[in-house]
Amino acid sequence: MRTVLRVENLEKFYKNKGSLTKAVNHISFEVQQGEYVGIMGASGSGKTTLLNCISTIDHATAGHIIINGKNVTGMKERSLAKFRREELGFIFQDFNLLDTLTGRDNIALALAILGEKPALIDKKIDALAAELGIKEIIEKYPYEMSGGQQQRVACARAIITDPSLILADEPTGALDSRSAEMLLNSLEMLNEKKKATILMVTHDAFTASHCGRILFLKDGKIFNELIRGDDTRKEFFLKIMQVVSLMGGERNHAV
Ligand SMILES: Nc1ncnc2c1ncn2[C@@H]1O[C@H](COP(=O)(O)OP(=O)(O)OP(=O)(O)O)[C@@H](O)[C@H]1O
């Protein structure tokens, strides 16, 4: 298996009026191609900081992040912008679609920026929209879509460029439970059928139970790791809940 992401001794410290917050404190882990990995932890444990460093939005204080063989920690902003476009797909809690573009054009933009031929853009979008069940809504503008529909368009936008790694930050955070489940089915499809490698931050044990592996953060460090293996989703959910309660309780979601 190929290593898509390698995080080595990563540190991110914030200095504020003499106090030092170790938001990410010596974290190391790897993600292999085709893995679906969740990051869980209490509020303030460093999840978003870690994801922002990996997504190259934030600069690490020390350590290395290697994505698809490229060390992003040393890259300059111009190379980083190109790197993000070519190698990463993003799914945010609040969808982040452009309001002035239809769903189709939001997805198309990601491909157009990479220089894809216009004739191929529509073909690729049509095929993916059918797989994600969003064919009927992609000609709509984001404000004409439900949150769940917007998030599935965001999924399509994240995968259409065939990125090495998809980064999702609380992707179900703004969705009701039915829309969340549809979104999770879409992510599962991207992972299983399209072999997408996904790293997802979530508070929610139900959402996390769709992953193949979970890293639990506490005070900026990896506190525990769970691997789903042959567990059913429900069995994995119960194991996740055990770790969550061991760590001091979290927001929950019924199985
Ligand atoms: N810009 C900043 N300046 C100073 N401290 C920060 C900054 N950003 C984050 N922190 C601190 O770093 C720690 C980790 O924050 P982070 O947002 O990564 O946690 P989180 O696990 O994502 O939390 P949540 O689940 O609430 O989003 C917290 O103690 C936070 O207060």
Query: Would the CB of 43 count as within 6 Å of ligand 1?
Result: yes
Atom of ligand 1 nearest to the CA of 46: 18
Average pLDDT over residues 238-254: 77
- Of 148, 153, 92, whose CA–CA distance to 128 is shortest? 153
**Where exactly are the structural domains of the chain?**
3-97+165-225+242-246
Say what the pLDDT of residue 98 is.
95
Judged against a pLDDT cut of 90, whether residue 94 lies above it is answered with no
Provide, for the chain, the percentages of residues in helix, strand and coil under a 3-state DSSP scheme, each rounded to the nearest 5.
40, 25, 35
Distance 44 CA to ligand 1 centre (A): 5
DSSP state of 175: S
Give the separation between CA 47 and CA 220, rounded to whole angstroms: 8
Judged against a pLDDT cut of 80, whether residue 33 lies above it is answered with yes
Using CA of residue 113, residue 116, residue 117, residue 120, what is the dihedral sign? negative
Query: Would the CB of 44 count as within 6 Å of ligand 1?
Result: yes
The distance of Cα 123 from the centroid of its chain, to the nearest Å, equals 25
Answer yes or no: are the C-beta atoms of 55 and 84 closer than 8 Å. yes
Say what the pLDDT of residue 249 is.
56
DSSP state of 179: H
Nearest-CA residue for atom 24 of ligand 1: 43
Query: In this predicted model, which residue has the larger pLDDT, 199 or 246?
Result: 199
Query: Would the CB of 25 count as within 6 Å of ligand 1?
Result: no
Confidence at 248, pLDDT banded by 50, 70, 90: confident
Query: Would the CB of 19 count as within 6 Å of ligand 1?
Result: no
Query: Would the CB of 54 count as within 6 Å of ligand 1?
Result: no
Confidence check on the interface: ipTM exceeds 0.85, yes or no: yes
Query: Would the CB of 41 count as within 6 Å of ligand 1?
Result: yes
Atom of ligand 1 nearest to the CA of 41: 21
Say what the pLDDT of residue 139 is.
97
Atom of ligand 1 nearest to the CA of 203: 25
Judged against a pLDDT cut of 70, whether residue 32 lies above it is answered with yes
Say what the pLDDT of residue 223 is.
92
Nearest-CA residue for atom 4 of ligand 1: 14
Average pLDDT over residues 69-77: 91
Tokens in use for 114? 């990479």
Say what the pLDDT of residue 255 is.
46
Query: In this predicted model, which residue has the larger pLDDT, 250 or 206?
Result: 206
With the most atoms of ligand 1 within 8 angstroms of its CB, the residue from 12, 15, 27, 47 to mutate is 47
pTM of structure = 0.92
Q: Is 247 exposed, middle or buried (0-12, 13-18, 19+ CB in 10 A)?
A: middle
Share of the chain above pLDDT 70, in %: 97
The residue behind tokens 């599935």 is 152
Tokens in use for 107? 């997805």
Report the CATH architecture of 3-97+165-225+242-246.
Answer: 3-Layer(aba) Sandwich (3.40)
Give the separation between CA 146 and CA 141, rounded to whole angstroms: 10
Nearest-CA residue for atom 8 of ligand 1: 49
Tokens in use for 132? 């994600």
Atom of ligand 1 nearest to the CA of 16: 4
Query: Would the CB of 47 count as within 6 Å of ligand 1?
Result: yes
Query: Would the CB of 49 count as within 6 Å of ligand 1?
Result: yes
Give the tens place of pLDDT for each residue, 109-164: 999 999 999 889 999 999 999 999 999 999 999 999 999 999 999 999 999 999 99
Distance 195 CA to ligand 1 centre (A): 31
